[in-house]
């Protein structure tokens, strides 16, 4: 696979990674197993401040949900960076699972989770193409609007 220089790509795009999210329970932000790394579910809580709280389709618009997915993805990336040392060690985005705190009757979860997928494609190009689930749920912890989990392939030394 072609080597991606994501650290430089982030700088080019003017994207600054947030601080590593502090878990709100008994878990770690990311875990490595073999040549895969898994993130815990991440939200749009940036540097300790929750963004986009509420149900998409009610308190939160699709555009705001998209931005929540984007910010949750930044938290996934920074959790992965902490676990593996550099985002450049990610060789392939394997799977994304996106949960959307959905108002009754809201069914545009894929449009919301595109906030994650679009960012990963921008950063990793063809290696950013991934399998994905976009799931509508009745509630998410602390009334967050979006939660993102990722599975990525990494190079091991």
The residue that leads in pLDDT, 4 or 33, is 33
- pLDDT-derived band at 24 (thresholds 50, 70, 90) equals confident
pLDDT in tens, 94-149: 999 999 999 999 999 999 999 999 999 999 999 999 999 999 999 999 999 999 99
Query: Measuring CA to CA, which residue among 101, 124, 113, 36 is closest to residue 71?
Result: 113
Report yes or no on 88 lying in a domain: yes
pTM: 0.95
Q: Say if residue 64's pLDDT is above 90.
A: yes
Determine the Cα–Cα distance for residues 35 and 152; give it in Å rounded to an integer: 8
- Confidence (pLDDT) at 1: 47
What's 59's domain CATH number? Answer: 3.30.1330.40
Distance separating the N- and C-terminal Cα atoms of the chain: 16
Report yes or no on 70 lying in a domain: yes
- Confidence (pLDDT) at 84: 96
Report yes or no on 25 lying in a domain: yes
Report yes or no on 1 lying in a domain: no
- Count of domains observed in the chain: 1
List the structure tokens of 115: 């906030």
Domain that holds residue 49: 6-154
- pLDDT-derived band at 156 (thresholds 50, 70, 90) equals confident
Q: Say if residue 69's pLDDT is above 90.
A: yes
């Amino acid at each position: 696979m072609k080597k991606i220089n994501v650290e430089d790509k982030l700088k080019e795009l003017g994207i600054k990674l947030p601080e590593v999210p502090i878990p709100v329970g008994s878990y770690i932000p990311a875990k490595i197993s073999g040549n895969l790394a898994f993130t815990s579910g991440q939200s749009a809580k940036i540097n300790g401040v929750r963004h986009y709280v509420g149900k998409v389709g009610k308190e939160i618009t699709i555009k705001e949900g998209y931005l929540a997915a984007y910010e949750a993805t930044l938290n996934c990336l920074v959790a992965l960076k902490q676990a593996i040392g550099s985002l450049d060690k990610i060789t392939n985005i394997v799977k994304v699972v996106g949960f959307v705190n959905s108002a009754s009757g809201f069914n545009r979860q894929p449009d919301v989770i595109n906030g994650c997928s679009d960012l990963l494609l921008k950063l990793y190009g063809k290696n950013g193409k991934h399998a994905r689930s976009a799931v509508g749920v009745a509630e998410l912890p602390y009334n967050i609007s979006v939660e993102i989990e990722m599975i990525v392939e990494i190079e091991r030394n």
